[in-house]
Amino acid sequence: MSLETVQNDVADALRDRARTAALLPALRDPDGRAAERVALYRGNLVAAWRKTLANAYPVLRAIVGEEYFEALAQVYGQAHPSTSGDLNRFGEHLSAFLADFAPAQSLPYLPDMAALEWLAHRAHYAADAVPVTRSAIAALTPAALLDACFDLHPACGWIDSRFPLATIWRAHQPDAHVDLPGQPIAGEIALVARPRWRATVVAARCADVAALAALREGRTVQDAFMAGMAIDADFDPAAAWVRWLDLNLLTRMQHAPPG
């Protein structure tokens, strides 16, 4: 039996108890405890899945409870075993998995919440970037500011949901002073940022993210403001600009390309 075959059999046995028998002939078993040792490794693997997902999805875990979350981690790990040496990437398919996971259908907002938490998880590990300061903005003339382009911080992201994701997320934080939304509930755009060392989530308006999307595409500040006002005539560019600076969303400034 080749090494590759044995390795595949080990992986299969760790994911599926029923595959243990196919592995045992390849193992030395002087005391007849090989199956027990494989089961021990399997338990350690499931524990690692649970801990890794709990690190990335604390709100989801709080919503569904420990017992549900442990079962979810096991079935998710069987369907999407880690393919990277970095366990921080293990949960990247959970949102799509929950969309088709029958036991989750009674909580239809779970896939969107998982998508939001994955954005926040990735934001925590995103590359550092020097935010644009208020003094740097104040040094520009109005015309120069409107003609400038800015990069968005690598941690910046958002999800537009028919559920109040930002409110639910904030209500489940350790220092929460936000009540869970009642009925009827309205959707929200949840904006992820990392203003300091920790990722955070705030509710954003359609006009805000339309303007941010324009900046992400490399368009000028004037184009971004116009994109926001095209969505909402009441969009306030000055107020939006202050919010973006407070959240450290804007990084490298450059002049618009000629033409």
Query: What's the pLDDT tens digit per position in 6-26?
Result: 566 656 666 666 666 666 665
Mean pLDDT of all residues in 171-175 = 86
Mean pLDDT of all residues in 70-93 = 89
Structural domains of the chain, count? 2
Other Cβ atoms closer than 10 A to 191? 25
210 and 137 together in one domain: yes
> Higher pLDDT residue, 185 or 54?
54
In a domain, 114, yes or no: no
Alpha-carbon distance of 193 to 81, in angstroms, equals: 29
pLDDT for the residue 225: 97
142 and 240 together in one domain: yes
Alpha-carbon distance of 78 to 64, in angstroms, equals: 20
pLDDT for the residue 12: 64
In a domain, 116, yes or no: no
Hey, which of 8-22, 36-50, 165-179, 227-241 has the most confident mean pLDDT? 227-241
78 and 175 together in one domain: no
Which of 48, 80, 107 finishes a domain?
Answer: 107
Give the helix ranges, DSSP H, for the chain: 3-15, 20-23, 34-56, 58-64, 66-79, 94-99, 110-125, 134-138, 142-146, 165-171, 206-216, 221-231, 237-246
In a domain, 70, yes or no: yes
207 and 246 together in one domain: yes
145 and 51 together in one domain: no
With bands split at pLDDT 50, 70 and 90, how would you rate the model's confidence at 84? confident
Percent of the chain with pLDDT over 70: 78
Alpha-carbon distance of 50 to 69, in angstroms, equals: 8
Mean pLDDT of all residues in 3-8 = 61
**41 has a pLDDT exceeding 70:** no
pLDDT for the residue 239: 95
With bands split at pLDDT 50, 70 and 90, how would you rate the model's confidence at 63? very high
To which residue do tokens 């108890």 refer? 17
In a domain, 115, yes or no: no
Question: Cα 19 from chain centroid?
Answer: 33
38 and 163 together in one domain: no
**122 has a pLDDT exceeding 70:** yes
Both tokens of 162, joined, read 């028919």
Which of 74, 107, 140 finishes a domain?
Answer: 107
141 and 253 together in one domain: yes
194 and 171 together in one domain: yes
Which structural domain, as residue segments, surrounds residue 139? 121-259
> Higher pLDDT residue, 187 or 42?
187
pLDDT for the residue 36: 60
In a domain, 94, yes or no: yes
Mean pLDDT of all residues in 84-89 = 85
pLDDT for the residue 254: 81
pLDDT for the residue 67: 94
pTM, rounded to two decimals? 0.84
63 and 183 together in one domain: no
pLDDT for the residue 5: 63
pLDDT for the residue 100: 94
Mean pLDDT of all residues in 176-200 = 82
11 and 127 together in one domain: no
pLDDT for the residue 181: 63
**258 has a pLDDT exceeding 60:** no
